[in-house]
Amino acid sequence: MQTKEQQKESEKDNLIFGLRPLIEALRSGKEIDKLLIQSGLKGELVSQLMGLLKQHNVAFQYVPVEKLNRLTLKNHQGVVGYISTITYQKIHDILPAIFEAGKTPLILVLDRITDVRNFGAIVRTAECSGVDAIIIPVKGGAQINADSIKTSAGALHTVPVCRENNLKETIEFLRESGLQVIACTEKTEDMYYTHDFSLPVAIIMGSEEDGVSNELLNQSDAHAKIPLMGEIGSLNVSVAAGVILYEAVRQRMAN
């Protein structure tokens, strides 16, 4: 496991700063994983940047200049970003191809999972269990950096990752495409092994703090619970994902 200092060093390779470098990166099709903009920043180049951010649906956050100064001592001109180490895809493009290939889709949706090591471990398990695509939100998810790629054992370069603006709309698309949507949650009495994962399915795993959001729970077709026999009230989300995914593997191998 990397220390915070080691993680910061590994992130420097993906760091990009300055108005013109960010503008050119966006124009050349670079994926921006995270972008911080100084509060109150104005000017012609800023307007150009904001237009490109809107055009490419890039999320950003306004922060005090002191935060940017902590990231780099160089002339950042009020903008600091991180170039993504992978190329994101769109589930609307991937899902039809899965069906056309004669496969039964197994999709994993990660709702606000923020810890990069949890995220990397989940992706590694997803790759091993044959997940066809992983869906994450544009905002509120773990940053895909060197640490998460290392924890995934390189699986982030193998499993398609779809970064979507609106998980609610994306889940509705999955349901309309014939997938049953099952949310993994302790807020149910239905055990995970009672569900049929041999069908086309999308599995939702929730955040480390509060699990799957109520909005997505309400939108799901079914809920699945992992029984807990000890005193601790919940499993680590990466472990829980492994339990659910390998139940899907077991059922599919039995058919």
Reported as a single tens digit per residue, the pLDDT across 126-168 is 999 999 999 999 888 887 877 888 889 889 989 999 999 899 9
Confidence of residue 35 (pLDDT cuts 50, 70, 90): very high
Cβ(204)–Cβ(182) under 8 Å? yes
Mean pLDDT of 188-197: 96
Residue ranges of domains in the chain, CATH in brackets: 10-83 (3.30.1330.30), 91-254 (3.40.1280.10)
pLDDT of amino acid 11: 53
Measured CA distances, 214 to 123, 134, 168, 244 (Å): 24, 20, 11, 20
C-alpha span between 175 and 200 (Å, rounded):
10
Looking at 72-144, list the stretches that DSSP marks H as alpha helix, in order from N- to C-terminal side.
91-100, 116-128
pLDDT above 70 (res 10): no
Half-sphere exposure of 100 (CA within 13 A, CB side): 5
Written as one letter, the residue type at 96 is P
